[in-house]
Structure 1
């Protein structure tokens, strides 16, 4: 191990400042842990000359007034655990959540996952019962509020493996726990089993030393440690995608919206010890970053009053990611990338025509996000400007690629966790002009949905407004739904007791009208949404999708349409060191995400004009009104709750035989490649390896293709080799739990 690697530890102190270590405090007097947090933050801000800036409430919802201060994780956990359990309020939260869980499209599938679903199943409603029972035990299973929230967080934000289904409390958002010890998984040639190294060794070649693989992390074999950590990450249903989220990468650094994995949020130690095979040892200081305002906090009771009730100056759930997002230097080029031919201001789309012999006929379109409303001018730029820019950059680049005689296209979607339908339509129709986004969807049928549809739909207004935007969906035959009953059905799922709505497709016309209105709010006939060609610019066999498994939501929908309808091939990068296939789509493969917040906020005076809200019936409470609870905002525990509204299915399926939604299916890529040192520091090495596998007879990871000689072939089927050997284990929602 070269001595320069040691500098990685020192750099952290320079970048983040040195946090106080409560374990070596001179005073022997007991000090409340939350007061320690307050004092540490004040001292750190003073020593680093940080003064919180003045900002509006809206701006604070997007970006904090000051950087997050670092403290030892043990103090953060001690502070959280000093919050006493508020049993009645906790039970109120569970009662509040129970009817909302019915809207999660995969609720029934998660209870009994099909073969090929690589994560554990979870009974979400049963999990609420488990937690309720623990709260009601005479002796009390939970010692404090943190233990209760930890169970609820694991049930809702980890076990479903769905980024669209989330429940997060402000108390859990007060601290973030990124590990400063960063690693990479590197293969010598891209097809041999990789080993784990320190990320600081990426540039070892120019420093003229040979890196040593990591042997252990905190005394545990490195690979075992990282796989166990990855299981705690709820962002991906696929274990290879979860594994990739343990590592930094060029693509994730360039991504517009990237949420790093923080599986240590429940149990991060103050230090991480790393030992390499050559005997070198390193000790990294870990940090908890304080994201809330602790200036008035002394005790755990204070913390609950300010944040647990949801009325404090706490962070929003998206705040940390947006802080990084808005702090980016949007005028600089992506590190490790060549200069793009063109790109959007916020960097979510960039086109490249690499000037190397191996790319003489290859163009590369990097789409690291389908978002379009955040960027360097977020507070002054109308959303439609970003949509138009996505459209312009995409179409202009394809023109440039064809003019340069590039007959092949690599579509790089690494780190793309989704975005907006406007941008899906832009990219899909740019590649395959038309008027239909060919993917079927259907929602879970349940009494609340039926009640809302029967009483709150007047032909133009959607049930519960944003909960189900009916005008965004049409029949698969392209005709509008004539009534809510026409859409709702319900449609029985053969062989199960479950029911779903009739299949729908997205109403592209409605989205394009909204696109035009965004461009010119005063003129619905504003910017036109028309692809400037009528024939596909690239043949399906000349398009290759490159993914690290972290493609989800809008990204997954786009890739699914390209692969299922047109036969476009995929290459999956990285993953566990298995000589086996890997999925290209490892994140959410469901439909739109809807925030629960609007549902309890809609009161009986907010229904569409002319409609009468009847009383609740059939023994359930409609979600428009939860008696005795304030709702999500105000005094609603400072939470954010969201769900996945529809399951997605490939175009052309009849869905008469209990079809499995895409979220629960195993869908391997055509080829798998491990990262090499070159691929970790030069993105063109990634594209070159992928292009070689697709069009030049290059080798894939043995066992990852259907061709015996190891070249790219068809789509491999499910094999037990890809099953996840690591599990979360017992807990609320797991069969057999008390």
Structure 2
């Protein structure tokens, strides 16, 4: 089970100031503008018809030139690396995209079909009517899409790229990293800011200032700091800019603007969310009263599947990149004749599922690789590495797993403090082998060493952790608290398509078939009546997420029938049809073993490594997805653990320690389309009425190409909450809030040592917390407010969106 949407595309602005075209540059342009005369005057920009005819051809020529240069070098240098991007002028790239024509019929059909996917979004009713105090602005996604379709039909939206950007911006307003889509055009265009910024405080308590990252590296906080951007006060501009981020917490969104070292990121001011910034340059005013105009950068990019070959105008781009060719029958050319659905996605290979079930109890510490080209087997690769380089720290951790997901440190001369560094719950390579096995082995080795050294205290650093494999979150929690329960509660939307999917699952994952699957998994296939093909079919069905078989009710009992799982329940306040609130049955987690469950259930007898007062959870607020499941287990099951958050808006107000996406599972559009195929194969329509029902509610193939699309499938719920409000709308402030200092920004080890002394010792350079304190309860009440000093510049940022 995998969580975490690694890259959710979002938009800055669609309009453009009428600046002259300039070649990309990575250095200062040294054009000084007196602050008193600089007034931002963004205006709408429409390319001329001549530009329509030439822009794409110019970009395509740059692409061809880059490949020709590479081919020339590669002819004599076998180590040459093929390019994946080439610099172009920002306006030129936008002119090309703006020249893409719009197909009214296909665009309207796209809205119709994508709306059916988005109805699986667990929070969609709450987004339209957010709970009071949630900091979420109302977003009527389905209603806004209807409005968009009308604007396309009337001709008000006449450019395809505006159609794309409007949908992306609409979904971004949910501040949900599990929700979003990226059109194919995003694979061929990228923009960048002039440089990364950082937010640094002199002592961690005083409000931070904004610096150019390279200036801080050279001069520290003596460097001139940024005071204004395009004429606006810098914090106000950045707070508004940060609102395009995917975290629920505004402070977490603010943090995402800036560069960071661990995990490494250049920040959204530099990467621009990969979208057109609306103009060619931006002005920055510094504390020494100087103002400079800096160039944006643009790149024509490509992937193995899509490139710029043969794209000479917007029409070429539309035919080659925009349209989904699989949408049409071989002889059809209109949306009316389109296929309703994809061909069924192949089920997981039978051999792979059988191997997974037969070897699920093996918790070995080594992995044997495939034979080499010489036929000789490779040496065994250890799952656990010791004292090897990890991330960008100046010293290696004591232990890490082979995929560098988990890093365990021991700080010298710092109150016998251990550190768990985990900036993700998944490997950077999503296809990496042995992720769960390596993680469990490394965590086990680390806690064995904790007990041997008699380390008494631990800092758990989850800064930048955007999620990953759910099993790994449960594994780390159970290793921290072996005898404690591990319960994570959730529900899904029970609209028409979900109920149809669940009905199909009931046909396959019957009580008898699931019992036989369990027998197969626990007896190496010897005591089951299922064939290996049937095992794979049942296994696949349990993985879809619509079956009642691998969940328990809030009291820990198995659900008796389909109605008890996904009947006619209405959620309080918004009256949305939802499933029962359930918890995952971790004893039936077949993808990997979790300590304390299934074949490893005796792990509960392992001694607990740390006591609650000796645990400190460190975050920058961006903890999301699986990270929020892990943090919720700590908070709900082990009340009293101290939390600290670093960074955020300079307003000296409480800030959420867990501010990312609280949803507990992501589903991709491809997963939902596969579920539709399963319905058609399992319970095909046997009447005109049922066919009409399927056509009305089931998601079918999209007519326009997307590289990724996803929804948040499960709401995380606290069962004791009578309102059953999704945790996405509940932000709990950290006990202590600090800002980054220059020293701790440069090296996480410095930060860990300072926090250990602040929490348990007397030598920290931090004089205290900027907000709250490290004794549980102080600074932990009250909502996280908006920045009272922020200026409203939304009209400037949002211009060009047409009110959607």
TM bucket (normalised to shorter chain) is 0.7 to 0.9
Q: CA deviation at 1:144?
A: 0.7
Q: CA deviation at 1:578?
A: 0.9
Question: Quick check: 1:600–1:624 contact (8 Å CA) kept in 2?
Answer: no
Between the aligned partners of 1:362 and 1:254, the Cα distance in structure 2 is 27
**Aligned counterparts, 1:228-627, within 5 A:** 228-233=240-245, 235-253=246-264, 262-263=272-273, 265-292=275-302, 293-311=307-325, 332-355=389-412, 357=413, 359-372=414-427, 374=429, 378=431, 383=433, 385-434=434-483, 436-458=485-507, 459=510, 460=514, 461=538, 466=544, 468-511=546-589, 513-515=590-592, 531=603, 534-567=606-639, 568-601=641-674, 611=683, 613-615=685-687, 617=690, 620-621=693-694
Question: Quick check: 1:178–1:264 contact (8 Å CA) kept in 2?
Answer: yes
Q: CA deviation at 1:423?
A: 0.6
Residue 236 of structure 2 is matched in structure 1 by: 224
Q: CA deviation at 1:344?
A: 2.3
Question: Quick check: 1:453–1:463 contact (8 Å CA) kept in 2?
Answer: no
2:709 is equivalent to residue 641 of structure 1: yes
SS in 2 for 1:288: strand
2:99 is equivalent to residue 82 of structure 1: yes
Q: What is the TM-score of this pair, normalised by structure 1?
A: 0.80
SS in 2 for 1:546: strand
Between the aligned partners of 1:125 and 1:455, the Cα distance in structure 2 is 26
2:121 is equivalent to residue 104 of structure 1: yes
**Aligned counterparts, 1:179-190, within 5 A:** 179-190=193-204
Between the aligned partners of 2:256 and 2:601, the Cα distance in structure 1 is 36
The structure-2 alpha-carbon separation of the partners of 1:452 and 1:49, relative to structure 1 and needing over 3 Å to count, comes to closer
Between the aligned partners of 2:210 and 2:735, the Cα distance in structure 1 is 25
Q: Deviations over 1:568-587 (max 9, x none)?
A: 22111100001111111121
Q: CA deviation at 1:700?
A: 7.7
Q: Deviations over 1:465-498 (max 9, x none)?
A: 6253544422223232232222113323234422
Q: CA deviation at 1:386?
A: 1.7
Q: Which structure has the bigger radius of gyration?
A: 2
The structure-2 alpha-carbon separation of the partners of 1:565 and 1:273, relative to structure 1 and needing over 3 Å to count, comes to same
Between the aligned partners of 1:605 and 1:333, the Cα distance in structure 2 is 43
Question: Quick check: 1:187–1:674 contact (8 Å CA) kept in 2?
Answer: yes
Q: Deviations over 1:85-143 (max 9, x none)?
A: 11111101000012222211101111111122123120111111110121122xx2113
The range that moved more, 528-537 or 470-479, is: 528-537
The structure-2 alpha-carbon separation of the partners of 1:300 and 1:719, relative to structure 1 and needing over 3 Å to count, comes to closer
Q: Deviations over 1:366-393 (max 9, x none)?
A: 0111114727xx5xx5x3x121111111
The range that moved more, 533-542 or 97-106, is: 533-542
Between the aligned partners of 1:225 and 1:213, the Cα distance in structure 2 is 15
The structure-2 alpha-carbon separation of the partners of 1:640 and 1:448, relative to structure 1 and needing over 3 Å to count, comes to same
**Aligned counterparts, 1:85-234, within 5 A:** 85-137=102-154, 140-156=155-171, 158-204=172-218, 210-233=222-245
Question: Quick check: 2:230–2:283 contact (8 Å CA) kept in 1?
Answer: yes
The structure-2 alpha-carbon separation of the partners of 1:178 and 1:620, relative to structure 1 and needing over 3 Å to count, comes to farther
Q: CA deviation at 1:605?
A: 7.4
Between the aligned partners of 2:707 and 2:214, the Cα distance in structure 1 is 37
Q: Deviations over 1:649-705 (max 9, x none)?
A: 23xx334x3221110112111111000000111112222333344334776876722
Between the aligned partners of 2:417 and 2:472, the Cα distance in structure 1 is 23
SS in 2 for 1:594: strand
The range that moved more, 447-456 or 78-87, is: 447-456
Question: Quick check: 1:72–1:287 contact (8 Å CA) kept in 2?
Answer: yes
Question: Quick check: 1:311–1:638 contact (8 Å CA) kept in 2?
Answer: no
Between the aligned partners of 2:795 and 2:244, the Cα distance in structure 1 is 10
Residue 4 of structure 1 is matched in structure 2 by: none
The structure-2 alpha-carbon separation of the partners of 1:50 and 1:240, relative to structure 1 and needing over 3 Å to count, comes to farther
Question: Quick check: 2:399–2:409 contact (8 Å CA) kept in 1?
Answer: yes
Q: CA deviation at 1:81?
A: 0.3
The structure-2 alpha-carbon separation of the partners of 1:9 and 1:149, relative to structure 1 and needing over 3 Å to count, comes to closer
Q: CA deviation at 1:721?
A: 5.0
Between the aligned partners of 1:116 and 1:506, the Cα distance in structure 2 is 29
SS in 2 for 1:294: coil
SS in 2 for 1:457: helix
Residue 65 of structure 2 is matched in structure 1 by: 43
Indicate the RMSD between aligned Cα atoms, in angstroms.
3.7
Between the aligned partners of 1:535 and 1:258, the Cα distance in structure 2 is 43
Residue 349 of structure 2 is matched in structure 1 by: none
Q: Deviations over 1:262-314 (max 9, x none)?
A: 346143432333332124555543222322210211111111111101359xx
Between the aligned partners of 1:607 and 1:468, the Cα distance in structure 2 is 16
SS in 1 for 2:262: helix
Q: What is the TM-score of this pair, normalised by structure 2?
A: 0.74
Question: Quick check: 1:236–1:586 contact (8 Å CA) kept in 2?
Answer: yes
The structure-2 alpha-carbon separation of the partners of 1:712 and 1:598, relative to structure 1 and needing over 3 Å to count, comes to closer
Residue 351 of structure 2 is matched in structure 1 by: none
Between the aligned partners of 2:215 and 2:499, the Cα distance in structure 1 is 57
Q: Can you give the 5+ residue segments of structure 2 that lack an aligned partner in the other structure?
A: 1-24, 30-49, 76-80, 327-386, 515-537
The structure-2 alpha-carbon separation of the partners of 1:463 and 1:227, relative to structure 1 and needing over 3 Å to count, comes to same
SS in 2 for 1:646: strand
The structure-2 alpha-carbon separation of the partners of 1:495 and 1:70, relative to structure 1 and needing over 3 Å to count, comes to same
The structure-2 alpha-carbon separation of the partners of 1:608 and 1:146, relative to structure 1 and needing over 3 Å to count, comes to closer
Between the aligned partners of 2:268 and 2:429, the Cα distance in structure 1 is 13
Between the aligned partners of 2:174 and 2:74, the Cα distance in structure 1 is 37
Question: Quick check: 1:51–1:66 contact (8 Å CA) kept in 2?
Answer: no
